[in-house]
Structure 1
Amino acid sequence: MENLKNLIRKIFMPSINSQYEFTLPIKSESDSDIENVENVGNIEKIFSNIASNLEYVKVQYKTLLNSDIVVREFLLNARNKKFKAFILFIDGMVNSALINDNILTPLMLRNRANTFEGTQNFIDYDQKTNNAIVRKIKKFDIKDYINTCLLPQNSVQIISDFSEVFDGVNSGNCVLFVDGLASAFDIEVKGFKQRGVESPNNEIVIRGAQQAFNESIRVNTSLVRRLVNNENLIIENIPVGNISKTKCAVCYINNIVNDNLVAEVKYRLNNINVDYVLSSGQLEQLIEDNGNYSVPELIATERPDRVAGYLLEGRVAIIVNGNPYVLIAPAIMLDFLSSPEDANLKYQYSNLLKFIRILALFLTLFLPALYIAITSFHQELIPTELLFAIVSSRESVPFPIIIELLIMEISFELIREGGLRIPSAIGPTIGIVGALILGQAAVEASIVSPILIIIVSITGLASFAIPDFSLSFHCRIVRFVYTFLGYLCGFLGIAMGFFIHLFILSSIESFGVAYLSPYIPFEEKYKKGLFVTPIWKREKRPDFLDAKKGKKQPNISMKWKYTK
């Protein structure tokens, strides 16, 4: 079995070392820390001369060409002294009212800038007696004075090189330069327009939260924090992309998640060497274990409550700035057959719906292939009356059954794709009307048989019942493979294809977790997973996650039943 898995890995997962003329460093399993890969090129430090700083930022931002780059020069009043200063920001990405009220006004107006005259007093404590001591500031420090007295904005950072200046300005901050200081003030004044928190478009539930992520990373992290109300929730920012520097937030609960999983996620993000990453879909392809196979290896969701549930299980979430879909790692195949509604329904309802989804999965994969195999090779399995009906319906059809099926499958895919691309107001109508008219016309023109219309329709409806869009795409692709195998070899070809498909899936891993967990590899402790158990019996977190806290609730969770 292990040799067969290795063979499949060599065929479908070629080694990078064998394709390119370089070797990848092998990370030891004992290493739990991540070595941050940084660009150690020449980092330009901020000059103490304001004229040099002004000239440098104008050259870098090409202010003669860029109409939205704003450089505002002014005189800063502090302690009866005037200093040359300027602020740098991008118009349209900042809140102008905050700049006027919390930056320019306190820095330029004398009545506010000179409130603190002479020496300043502050309270210190004696280390031996712990008694309060009043000390005086005799030395005037313009940097500390501006930071502590003249900038009432809530978030101000002192930075020392131009790379930090550009990162701050490009993200919507305002940077203040003062003459004589070899550092600058990065002031958060973001104010660009963004879409509000709306209802989910795809993951719709009847009972449950009606909130979805939007394109702002900070709004998305706040939605997660509102649900996971715990100080152990860690959100780390990792920029991805040499040019775009897209912010990616790695979210996990520190006292639950496995440290090796967090280390692996951060290792992959830190070792992405591309110019830009603009969406979670692009990032998913860059960090998944095997991109040569169409099966999804990370969960993509637009629901904060679903992300919170996975975090509490012991998984890691990756939020990409500018994209409303959050990635969850690791993922197993059963995750893509689960719906957000399952968490809100009784386990009997959830199990019924999950059974329907599993049935839909097999129908969309095998129904066309089984129809071709039975009608071409195994007619003895069909009742006589039904066999005569099928034969009579195909008497006037001039095409072989495989061509007939391909015509209808491709037509159905065209209708589905066209319904997605045209305006949403008429998309569903065009899809329904187009399918009815096309099917009726095809039967009347003797291009296809009526029974085939039924087969293709059931297959299409079954693909809609699969909750995850990526898994549905995978099934649509693999269905054509099974169809050709059924046409060539009948049941034998379908069985061979199924076992090859199963072996490939069993060889895939998602961040070290077997894709077909908890059944392949099977262990006795994996007794739950396919169907939903009652909520009072969900004592343990999934074993394949190897979380720090394996138990999430006691055996008796409803204490009220036993305390009376």
Structure 2
Amino acid sequence: MQLKYWANKILGYNGPPASMDFELAETEEEQQSASQTGQEENVPASKSRQHKIRKPRKTGPAGDKGDAGGTGDAANQPGGTGAGDNPEQSKPGAAPQEIQVALETNRKIIARLFNLPINKDVIVREFTLSTEPPVPAFLVFIDGMADTKLINNSILQPLMLLTNLESGQGIRPDTCTNVLQRHLPSNQVEKLTLFKDVVTQVLSGATAIFFDGCSYAISAETKGFPFRGVDTARTEQVVQGPQEGFVENLRSNTALVRRIIHSEQLITEYLEVGARNNNNVAIMYLADLTNPALVQEVKRRIRGIKTDYLAESGVLEELIEDHPLSLMPQIIKTERPDRVSSMLLEGKVAIIVDNTPFVMLVPGLLFDFLHSSEDHYVRFSNGIWLRVIRLFAVFLTILLPAFYVAIATFHQEMIPTDLLLSIAAAREMVPFPTIVEILLMELSFELVREAGVRVPGIIGPTLGIVGTLILGQAAVAASIVSPILIIIVAVTGLSSYAIPNYAAAFGFRFMRFVFIFLAAALGFFGISSGLFIMLCLLLNMKSFGVPYLAPVSPKTASSHDLIIRFPAWQQENRPDYQQTLDTRRQPELSRGWVTRQSAKPRGNKANSEGD
């Protein structure tokens, strides 16, 4: 009713106050005239009947008196939910109380908590246990979040038709226990003593069951909400290797990881973030491998988040990373279960947020963003070549346009004479300086890139390629830019696409514009100054306590999987900068068949001689 009142007030509705649950109080003159019969006709017009509008009475969200959560008789009942007993419980989101023994009291509290009967998708089903005498009960679930067939077959049918409990004069304390242990075939059941836990379970898709005379409720696992099936990884496609990717369902994502790592030491812990949406966050790690200090730090940061709503893993990333203002990411995000599994076996911690297909891995260091899952599925020589190309692409993405601006503006003597004359002839008709020319083309390329991402369907890649070609050709024909600049912008754009991590590539692209301005202002001195400042910032960064440039700075033991990827049989140790509990990945002699191969012919020869 309060919601209706404020809606009418905003819309300017001036209906009668009684329709908005106000009380009309009589004035003193009215009370005196009411005691005298026939006196109302003689009252002067100046003292005619007047009304004072009192403040609206406090009613529950259910609305009228007599409804669940209303005032009046319900406030006088034991354990009632009237607003006069406890005003704090009349507010939505107030701290719930403990579950009561009286079934009717629990029903009214549930109605108030879920705003019944306003909420049409919250279902309260009353039924009776088949005992002598019968015991009333009810269950509550959300239509669309719970599987109704599972509720009918695993809860209602056993309790209404198949139970054979003797309750005597009333329900005995062990009756609820018998129901829990013998008559609920659900695979996950739990006792709940607080309404707060009941609300959390029901909003997650479970079904809560209340019995008359029982001081706790029973939660049964009945999740049945729709979700997207396992599909290919769309942002991290590989030529060789697994093709499946994470989905928006938390349980499916944890199952995809467990399907790869068959170990009882793989731990999955659940936390809740968000005061209003209570989004589930899973933390996965290997108990006998991961540094316990890293696990505790991850849980400490997540538990320390105070927010109403957690929409996606990107929001959580900003809330827990060490340097939120940095251009470079400090947390790895991936949608590939195989990559998550391999990094868990390296000692990292996986953070999985419900309703998002991207899983976070910490700590995330600079060289981790240059690695791809495909590096481990191809021959080590091919993996080395791919990583060298990516490292070269990083330098081209950041510095190639800046080098062109510096040379064309300040250091023309570094260009060979023939090339200098060719560049000068190409720029003869261009009316803009070099800095304006390159900024115009870079911004145009970024515009085409963003438009290609946002255009739905298969039109996006086509739009990106065709748009770039048309814009470049038209710009050269109109003498707005020089042809060599088109080549530089195209090579820079292709280099940014070669970086496997989207967040890291975006950071490098932003740095490119910073270096362009430095080169336009100071030439090579500006570029060198920018590189020095960038290196100092990277050296000062950490990700969950681990230096961002490890294992290069600080220098630790040589890693066989940094830039140069050694063969799989030579990668005996894990990276030591994470201080894992088990630093040994495999023995030095992992190919045991090599030593047995030479002994096998001798054994066969001896056997043949014996025969």
Question: Which range, TM-score by smaller chain?
Answer: 0.7 to 0.9
- The answer as to 2:139 corresponding to 1:87 is yes
Pick from 92, 117, 130: which aligns with 1:77? Answer: 130
- Matched AA of 2:245: A
Q: Secondary structure at the match of 2:356?
A: coil
After superposition, what is the alpha-carbon deviation per residue over 1:455-476, rounded to whole angstroms, capped at 9, x for unaligned? 1010000000000000010011
- Matched AA of 2:177: D
Which whole-Å CA distance do the structure 1 matches of 2:300 and 2:586 have between them?
Answer: 32
After superposition, what is the alpha-carbon deviation per residue over 1:417-445, rounded to whole angstroms, capped at 9, x for unaligned? 00111112211111111111111111111
Q: Report the alpha carbon displacement of residue 483 of structure 1 after superposing the two structures with TM.
A: 0.4
State whether residues 332 and 517 of structure 1, in contact with CA within 8 Å, keep that contact through their aligned partners in structure 2. yes
- Match runs of 1:92-491 below 5 Å: 92-109=144-161, 112-114=162-164, 141-491=174-524
Match in the other structure for 2:111: 58
TM-score for both structures, normalised by structure 2: 0.81
Q: Report the alpha carbon displacement of residue 250 of structure 1 after superposing the two structures with TM.
A: 0.4
Change (3 A) 1:170 1:528: closer
Q: Report the alpha carbon displacement of residue 210 of structure 1 after superposing the two structures with TM.
A: 1.5
Of structures 1 and 2, the larger Rg is shown by: 2
The runs of 5 or more residues in structure 2 that have no matched partner are: 1-93, 598-611
Match in the other structure for 2:596: 563
Which whole-Å CA distance do the structure 2 matches of 1:488 and 1:199 have between them?
Answer: 46
Q: Report the alpha carbon displacement of residue 255 of structure 1 after superposing the two structures with TM.
A: 0.2
- Matched AA of 1:212: G
Q: Secondary structure at the match of 1:177?
A: strand
Q: Report the alpha carbon displacement of residue 220 of structure 1 after superposing the two structures with TM.
A: 0.6
The runs of 5 or more residues in structure 1 that have no matched partner are: 1-40, 120-138
**More deviation in 417-426 or 552-561?**
417-426
TM-score for both structures, normalised by structure 1: 0.87
State whether residues 136 and 211 of structure 2, in contact with CA within 8 Å, keep that contact through their aligned partners in structure 1. yes
State whether residues 154 and 186 of structure 2, in contact with CA within 8 Å, keep that contact through their aligned partners in structure 1. yes
After superposition, what is the alpha-carbon deviation per residue over 1:66-121, rounded to whole angstroms, capped at 9, x for unaligned? 1111111111223x331111110000011111100010111111xx111x6799xx
State whether residues 154 and 184 of structure 2, in contact with CA within 8 Å, keep that contact through their aligned partners in structure 1. yes
Match in the other structure for 1:499: 532
- Matched AA of 2:144: G
- Match runs of 1:510-525 below 5 Å: 510-523=543-556, 525=558
Which whole-Å CA distance do the structure 1 matches of 2:207 and 2:579 have between them?
Answer: 44
After superposition, what is the alpha-carbon deviation per residue over 1:264-317, rounded to whole angstroms, capped at 9, x for unaligned? 001101111111111111111110001011100000010111111011111100
Q: Report the alpha carbon displacement of residue 142 of structure 1 after superposing the two structures with TM.
A: 1.1
Q: Report the alpha carbon displacement of residue 140 of structure 1 after superposing the two structures with TM.
A: 6.5
- Identical amino acids, percent of aligned pairs: 45
Which whole-Å CA distance do the structure 2 matches of 1:223 and 1:140 have between them?
Answer: 42
Q: Secondary structure at the match of 1:395?
A: coil
Q: Report the alpha carbon displacement of residue 447 of structure 1 after superposing the two structures with TM.
A: 0.8
Q: Report the alpha carbon displacement of residue 528 of structure 1 after superposing the two structures with TM.
A: 5.6
Change (3 A) 1:524 1:62: closer
Q: Secondary structure at the match of 1:404?
A: helix
State whether residues 217 and 320 of structure 1, in contact with CA within 8 Å, keep that contact through their aligned partners in structure 2. yes
Q: How many residues align?
A: 502
Q: Secondary structure at the match of 2:125?
A: strand
- Matched AA of 1:379: Q
State whether residues 252 and 317 of structure 1, in contact with CA within 8 Å, keep that contact through their aligned partners in structure 2. yes
State whether residues 102 and 151 of structure 1, in contact with CA within 8 Å, keep that contact through their aligned partners in structure 2. yes
State whether residues 519 and 526 of structure 1, in contact with CA within 8 Å, keep that contact through their aligned partners in structure 2. no
After superposition, what is the alpha-carbon deviation per residue over 1:324-380, rounded to whole angstroms, capped at 9, x for unaligned? 010000011000000110110111000000000001000000000000101111111
- Matched AA of 1:102: S
Which whole-Å CA distance do the structure 1 matches of 2:198 and 2:420 have between them?
Answer: 76
Q: Report the alpha carbon displacement of residue 43 of structure 1 after superposing the two structures with TM.
A: 4.6
Which whole-Å CA distance do the structure 2 matches of 1:207 and 1:413 have between them?
Answer: 30
